[in-house]
Amino acid sequence: MKITAARVIVTCPGRNFVTLKIETDQGVYGIGDGTLNGRELSVVAYLEEHVIPCLIGMDPRRIEDIWQYLYRGAYWRRGPVTMRAIAAVDMALWDIKGKMAGMPVYQLLGGRSRDGIMVYGHANGSDIAETVEAVGHYIDMGYKAIRAQTGVPGIKDAYGVGRGKLYYEPADASLPSVTGWDTRKALNYVPKMFEELRKTYGFDHHLLHDGHHRYTPQEAANLGKMLEPYQLFWLEDCTPAENQEAFRLVRQHTVTPLAVGEIFNTIWDAKDLIQNQLIDYIRATVVGAGGLTHLRRIADLASLYQIRTGCHGATDLSPVTMGCALHFDTWVPNFGIQEYMRHTPETDAVFPHDYHFEKGELFVGDTPGHGVDIDENLAAKYPYKPAYLPVARLEDGTMWNW
């Protein structure tokens, strides 16, 4: 069995997606996701110029060997562009192997560890009252876990406050838009939101919050301490993780569970955090961490330290990644939760899939492969549109972490 062709499909049914399609001499094809929000064309160039020429003639069944070839064979390796290109190939190869075996990917990984996958949705509002109402809407839809974000008085376009109730795309302009940030204002306001949420809905539902790398370790520790009475499921990305040791300071001062990893690319980004038990959930993604082949290694390392998975699942990941993530979630023994931002109806039409939502959980089907396809004719109707993620500045103009 040989790979005979591979090509990249870029489509924008509401936001940009990069899809790799690998074809074989036996008529079986697989698709993978290589989307990098705001930097899509970088991945396209890497795939077309450096990866696809190497794939032609290879045996697609040799998933591990091809992964090592693309990773170890690149002297300049790691990084978001390289690992997303590898992930696109890896997903497509698992799709092919599943189709050849007549089995869904979760069976190839080792079979089910659970029936349904608990997911969390994104509730947000311009102020606390709107966020409380939005959380109630998600509870009414059957969600057991909800991430809550609110606008903060005096902060321009606070992170996590979307333009819609169900669909939110932060990459909003052909050049980066400028948002604001003020840590003190956030620290004074966010705990009040969770106090109101617990007063309104009690403690039966899981609540989550995203700090989005905005706080210093000491500020993050302060926030975690203030949120302890409200029993959060987790506080996400409380401080930048380039310095993994920074989480030690946070850990020393709060028992609020910590989650990080959506921008991680390899096991090395998480190694110290995991081995020193400085986090409770690892949020690396199938597309960001080099595909299923490498994400399994991260999860296995985490399991040794009782750290659970909580894969990133925003709309900057296509339904292909979501499908693969759900097969991973169905199998992985140390599963925690799965983020689930709903794609638009236009995106769902371009990427038909067999997973579905019911009573706060997502369920994968038994379609051979990962269960997600692409309608190329429909995809062609949505051409690429340049779109950048915003940037953030403090009130005095200082650049900050978006």
Q: Which of the residues are catalytic?
A: 159, 212
137 — phi, psi (to 5°)? -65, -40
Paired tokens of 322: 């979501």
Please state, in angstroms and rounded to a whole number, the distance separating the CA atoms of residues 209 and 200.
17
Q: CA 101 from chain center: how many Å? A: 28
Give 234's strand partners: 208
Q: What is the DSSP string of 73-96?
A: T-SS--SHHHHHHHHHHHHHHHHH
Give 394's strand partners: 181
Please state, in angstroms and rounded to a whole number, the distance separating the CA atoms of residues 190 and 84.
34
Strand 17-24 and strand 3-11: pairing?
antiparallel
Paired tokens of 331: 């199998």
357 — phi, psi (to 5°)? -100, 140
Report yes or no: 123 and 338 within 8 Å, Cβ to Cβ.
Answer: no
Between helix 183-201 and helix 128-140 the angle, nearest 10°, is 40
Please state, in angstroms and rounded to a whole number, the distance separating the CA atoms of residues 216 and 194.
21
For residue 113, the tally of other CB atoms under 10 A from its CB is 14
